[in-house]
Amino acid sequence: MAYLIDTSVLGRLANTADDFYAAALRAVVELHRSGETLNIAPQNLIEFRGFATRPAAVNGLGLATEAAEAKMAAFEAAFPLLPDTPGIFPTWKVLVETFNVVGKQVHDARLMAVCYTHGVTHLLTFNIQHFVRLASYGPGVTIVAPESV
């Protein structure tokens, strides 16, 4: 099966002091051991850079750009990068219109559009509720919490 790793998981993997670091690491290691394909998308890296370089006082990691870039390079080396393709936008548009997606969740809808466009069957995330309704579109995507792996 193919998985897309949500930015919420990447953020935990980048911060060993995070309460959910162990769960994120355990899930990724176990899925890899089971032979699952774990992917990321350019959007994950874009979101991660924003999160990683945002000050800790406002829910970020507070990393210098060089440190954030090093972590991003490590993610790119560890996980295949699904390309942005022309089919993602129309799929995203259908999702946001079908489910009346607004605000920050438009980014979640784009990650789901990446899944649908690339035939990714599972999404690994700590933010289950952000994706549940979007996962019911078409053939569906299984939303997986790291703690359940």
88 domain-assigned: yes
- Give Cα separations from 30 to 22, 70, 117 (angstroms): 12, 24, 26
Number of domains in the chain: 1
- Calculate the average pLDDT of the chain: 97
- pLDDT for res 102: 97
CATH number where 108 lies = 3.40.50.1010
75 domain-assigned: no
Cα–Cα dist 116/57, whole Å: 35
Q: 132, 12 in Cβ contact below 8 A? A: no
Share of the chain above pLDDT 70, in %: 100
| Residue 118: band (very low, low, confident or very high) from pLDDT cuts 50, 70, 90 | very high
pLDDT in tens, 74-114: 999 999 999 999 999 999 999 999 999 999 999 999 999 99
46 domain-assigned: no
Q: How many residues are recorded in the chain? A: 149
Of 131, 53, 142, 137, the residue nearest 97 (C-alpha): 137
**Section 24-37 average pLDDT:** 98
Cα–Cα dist 70/61, whole Å: 14
**Section 21-41 average pLDDT:** 98
> The domain containing residue 126 runs over which residues?
2-39+81-148
Cα–Cα dist 73/59, whole Å: 22
Of 129, 133, 121, the residue nearest 96 (C-alpha): 133
> Among 37-41, 113-117, 135-139, which is the least confidently predicted range?
135-139
pTM strictly above 0.85:
yes
Q: Is 139's pLDDT higher than 90?
A: no
53 domain-assigned: no
Angle 58-61-66 from CA coordinates, rounded to 5°: 130
| Residue 13: band (very low, low, confident or very high) from pLDDT cuts 50, 70, 90 | very high
- CA-CA-CA-CA torsion for 72, 6, 22, 68, nearest 10 degrees? 20
* CA 102 and chain centroid, separation: 18
Q: Is 138's pLDDT higher than 90?
A: no
